[in-house]
Structure 1
Amino acid sequence: MKSLILAAALGLAPLAAYANNSATAGAETYVLDASHSQIVFSYNHLGYSTTYGMFSGFDGTIQFDQNAPENSSVEVSFPVRTMLTGWEGRFNHFMSADFFDAADDEMVTFTSTAIEVTGDTTADITGDLTLNGVTKPVVLAATLNQQGNHPMENKPWAGFDATTTIKRSDFNVGAFAPFVSDEVEVMISIEAMKAD
């Protein structure tokens, strides 16, 4: 479930979509807008329902090279205990020894390792997701929603969506599988602004 994190990282690949419209050389720093970035995850609960959770308010940095977007990079991290479940009992269970056994300072991290531009507004972002002390590669299918000057902030801004699927058991949080699905669907939506 922590896997959602990965998500934020997705932001940088889609920036590649407008690379041909800029003469800027080298990488520029973009930062995630924590107030408009979230990772939503879902899983099947015993065949009876689809249960949802979310991470929100996290920070991340994108080093974006407009002329060579494949050379861009992204890093995101946040505490696992910032997970939102909508029910305190479920949160406490996720943080227990059945799942994460998470300390207050345990972090989820995603660091990109490769970007493959797949279309005018799409890219696959491969990166290392570290969750529950385990690091595994994850691929995010990312889409650029919009890029331009923010009408209120008056600076370059971009918005992206991304999806991926992870297996809980890959990160040693596979309790109760397959009754509670091992596969977790992750949906990411973020905004990023050019750093001052």
Structure 2
Amino acid sequence: MKTTLLAAAFAVTATAGFAAPEKYVLDASHSQIVFSYNHLGYSTTYGMFSGFDGEIMFDQEDPAASSVTVSMPVKSMMTGWEKRLGHFMSPDFFNAQDGDMVTFTSTGIEVSGDNTAKITGDLSMNGVTKSVVLDATLNQVGTHPQAQKPWAGFDASTTVLRSDFNVGAFAPYVSDEVQIMISIEAMKAE
């Protein structure tokens, strides 16, 4: 049952029965990554990435052999305040240059429940790569009512330490821990 539901998340169509991995691509207009951190104990501050690229490859017969890759330019970060964004792009944090990317490449998927999985992967940013585990949930899978093609939606979350990626300025006053919340939609590739 567990592997069946995870399989559905990536590859169910009205004519199911695939032996090879199938490619799904992220719907950039309905996929976002929101991050939050504690600011000096006074507030929780948020930022976001949206409009990024990614793909999911799924092997229906062996869901653990599936994979996920996502990438986004560091400079596509949104903070809601121009001066904060400028500070994040400065040498205090990312020292971001055009072309600098944040990437995630899965290295393993473990089904953990009827509609949940642990996705382990390599998160790379600011010249550092660390292994992280995403707690992922299948929200829904089926035929998209407007696009009329197979579609899937997922949420995931994890917590990372900024200092692990050399962006730990002002810790512990500004929390080292950053909570990451992910919500994506993916469509079967043509």
The answer to whether the 8 A contact 1:71-1:115 is kept is yes
Q: Secondary structure of 1:170's partner?
A: helix
Determine if the alignment matches structure 1 residue 167 to structure 2 residue 123: no
Instruction: Name the CA shift for 1:166/1:14 in 2 (closer, same or farther; >3 Å).
Output: farther
The structural deviation recorded for 1:16 is 1.9
Conserved in 2, the CA contact under 8 Å of 1:53 and 1:83? yes
Counterpart-to-counterpart distance in 2, 1:57 and 1:14: 30
Name the aligned partner's letter for residue 54 of structure 2. Answer: G
Aligned to 2:30: 36
> Who is 1:4 aligned against?
none
Aligned length: 184
Residue 18 (str. 1) matches residue 8 (str. 2): yes
Cα separation, 1, equivalents of 2:104 and 2:56: 12
Contact 1:14–1:121 under 8 Å retained in 2: no
Identity of aligned residues (%): 72
Post-superposition Cα deviations, 1:22-65, rounded to whole Å, max 9, x if no partner, equal 43211000000000000000000000000000000001011111
Is the aligned partner of 1:92 residue 2:74? no
The CA distance in 2 between the partners of 1:34 and 1:49, in whole Å, is: 29
Match of 1:194 in 2: 188
Tell me the equivalent position of 1:73. Answer: 67
Structure 1: which 4+ aligned runs deviate by more than 4 Å? 19-22
Report the Cα distance in structure 2 between the residues aligned to 1:121 and 1:23, rounded to whole angstroms: 20
> Normalising by structure 2, what TM-score?
0.93
Amino acid of the residue matched to residue 191 of structure 1?
Answer: E
Which residue identity does 1:38 align to in structure 2? Q
**Cα contact 2:5–2:114 (8 A) shared by 1:** no
Q: CA RMSD in A?
A: 1.7
Counterparts of 1:107-186 in structure 2, within 5 Å, are 107-186=101-180
Residue deviations 1:95-127 (CA, integer Å, cap 9, x gap): 000000000110111110000000110000000
What is the alpha-carbon distance in structure 1 between the residues aligned to residue 126 and residue 87 of structure 2?
15
- Distance in 1 of aligned mates of 2:74 and 2:17: 39
- Structure 2 portions without partners, runs of 5+: none
Q: Is the 8 A contact 2:7 2:58 kept in 1?
A: no
Taking a change above 3 Å as real, the CA distance of residues 79 and 58 of structure 1, as seen in their structure-2 partners, is same
Q: CA deviation at 1:174?
A: 0.3
Partners of 1:14 and 1:42 lie apart in 2 by 33
